[in-house]
Structures are given as C-alpha cells and as structure tokens.
Structure 1
Amino acid sequence: MTFKTLSFATLGAALIAAPALAGSPVEPMAEPVIAAPAPVVSTGGDWTGAYGGLSLGYADVSTTGTSTLSGDDVIGGLSLGYDYDFGQFVLGAGLDYDVSNTDLSGTDTLESIGRLKLRAGYDLGRGLIYATGGVAQASLASMGEDTGYFAGIGYEHMLTDNISVGGEVLYHAFDNFNGSGTDVEATTASAKVNFRF
C-alpha cells in the first residue's frame, strides 16, 4: 500500500465518520421555553358601589350656655351609603344612625345621633382616606331633638372585595339646642365594618 493509497483511505474513513461524530445533519428543534406566569398583584379595589355596616365607638358630650353638662359613654349603630370611584378620588353620600346612653352630669342623656353625610376621599388602592361632613340630628332625653352639623376624617381599608374596616372621628355642634339656650357639642370616635354590594 502506497502512501497515496493510505492517504485516500484515511480521508475516506474520516469523511464517512464525520457525520457520525458531528451528529445528525438536520438541526434538532429547540425545546419550547414555558415562562412561569407573573404573580397577579392586586393594586386595589374599586370603591364604586353601595355599602351597609356597623359601628362601635366612644362619645364625649358637653354643653354650654344655660346649663353646663358633660359625659362620655359607648355609642354605636348602623350606616348605609354609596361611593363613586373616579380613579384617584372617591365621592360618596350616606346615612348613619347611632344610639347611646351617655349620661350628662345626671341631668340629661344623649340618646341618639343621626347623620346625612357627604364624603370625599383619596383612593390609596385598598385604602381610602377621606374627609366627611353634613347634617346631624341629636336626641337628648329632656331637651328633645335638634339639628346641627358635623365634620370629621376617616380611613377605610378593604380586607376583601366585599368587606372593609375603618375608623372615623367626628365633631358635632348643635347651637341653641331646641331653643333651650344651651349649645351641645359631641365628639365621637368609632370603628366601622362595612359590607360592600
């Protein structure tokens, strides 16, 4: 066997073995890459809709004028309302009715406070910070009923899409209560639970 023959034989063997060493002449299909789904992050709820709820808190009441009385006790009740979410801002209206048995220096008793309220708040996503105010009506055992005004601030937080909790501090004023010459002031601080429809 000559050198030339040996070279051709070696070259031929190399060419035959090359596809076997290099793999298939057809490129394999790439395995599809399945990306893990991105976690769903809730940035907040939509505050639009009706709600109803319960409140429980503390009332501090005082009077000036013809009689000077004071007292504090538990207050609590029901609320109904409707909010509309404009995106960053929320506007709403509602009704509250709270009952109490706040003794005023053994002379009179705060029996209830009802409110027709407006509120405007800033949408924090699952939270809502707001200012509120409107017309209030109070009932005292011996002086009867009278209408005044109230104003305050509050915060509400959505635990779920249907249940929210919050707190509210309100100042109430009733000038010349039912023509008695006595001015009545009441400050309430309440915790609230609302069910949203």
Structure 2
Amino acid sequence: METQEKTFRRVVTGHDSEGKAIIINDSSTINSHLVGGKGGPTFFEVWHTVETPVLIHPQPDEIDEAHLILPPPKNGTRIRVIEFPPEGDEIRNLTEKEAAEKFKSMGDEKASTSSEGAPHPLMHRTETLDYGIVLEGEITMILDQEETTIKAGDIVIQVGTNHAWANRSGKICRMAFVLIDGQFTNDFNLKN
C-alpha cells in the first residue's frame, strides 16, 4: 500500500509599491492535519477567504487558523488538498457516535449525517458548493441513492448533497477541493 505523503507548492501573488504584479510567497509549507490517526485522510489547507466579494489588497494576508475547519468561513471560500488512503475496516465499521467524533475533529460535528442504514458511516452534508478535482488515483463518491467512481482528471460539482468518499483502490487518492459558502433554499426538503 502506498503511504508516501506529497508536498505541495503554493505560489501567492500580490503587488509591489508601484502596483506591479509580484510573487509574495513561494513555498511548500502548507498547514496539514491528519484526521483520525493512521489510516485517516490528510488535509492540506492551502488558502481561504473570509468575504465575498474578496477584498483585493496589494499584499494579501493569510489568515491563520490553529485547527482544521471543514467548511469555509461564512461568505468565504476555502481551497484544500485531501490525501485519502485506501479505506479499511476501521472506517467501514465506524459507529454513528464515532463518525460524529471524526467530523468534530474537523471542526464541523453538525456536518455528520451518519445513521443506521446509511450507505457509508462518514456520510455528511455541508452548506457549500464544492468543486472537487481528482489529482491522482481514484475514489468512490457515495450519495444517498447511488455512487460513482471518479478518477484522475475528473471533476465533481458537489451542490450541498449528502455524501461520503470511499477509497476502495489500493493506492492513495489526492483531490483538490474549492469550497464556497452557500445557503440552502426552501425549494426542497432536506433529509439528514
């Protein structure tokens, strides 16, 4: 089983005192969080914004977060890369309470929709629009009524749906996610 952690290069642009475009940060240092210990996913936090429209400053400041927070800030965005190891029995056999604890460790316990008879113990829903891009490997997206396997180069547009991710391959899957804060309308009845 592949377990090598990948580093990511992050290049942040800005402007000099004359208004010319420059690189203000070029590093591979990205805040990372291993969720649930060995066998759990690693979250690489790349950047987030705190308002829409985003205020563009000549020298953008990165707002530091001490802990992993699953959704973006209210009216904000978040980009992260998640490295999903192959799923084992320790994930497949989680109880409802244990699943809620996993999401609590990600800063959003209320996202968990785990329940008796759910298609996966890590089912969850966030009030966001997410773009998920598979960078390497493959992963199965599980929804309430169906599932599909997505592979490198595939893009998922997750529109506030109840879902889980299951890596049923024997290799790491790496995905980039852009999360945009949203708000559910009253047009449909949400279960869970």
Same fold at TM > 0.5: no
TM-score normalised over the length of structure 1: 0.21
TM-score by length of 2: 0.21
Give the number of the structure whose alpha-carbon radius of gyration is greater: 1
Structure with greater proportional strand content: 1
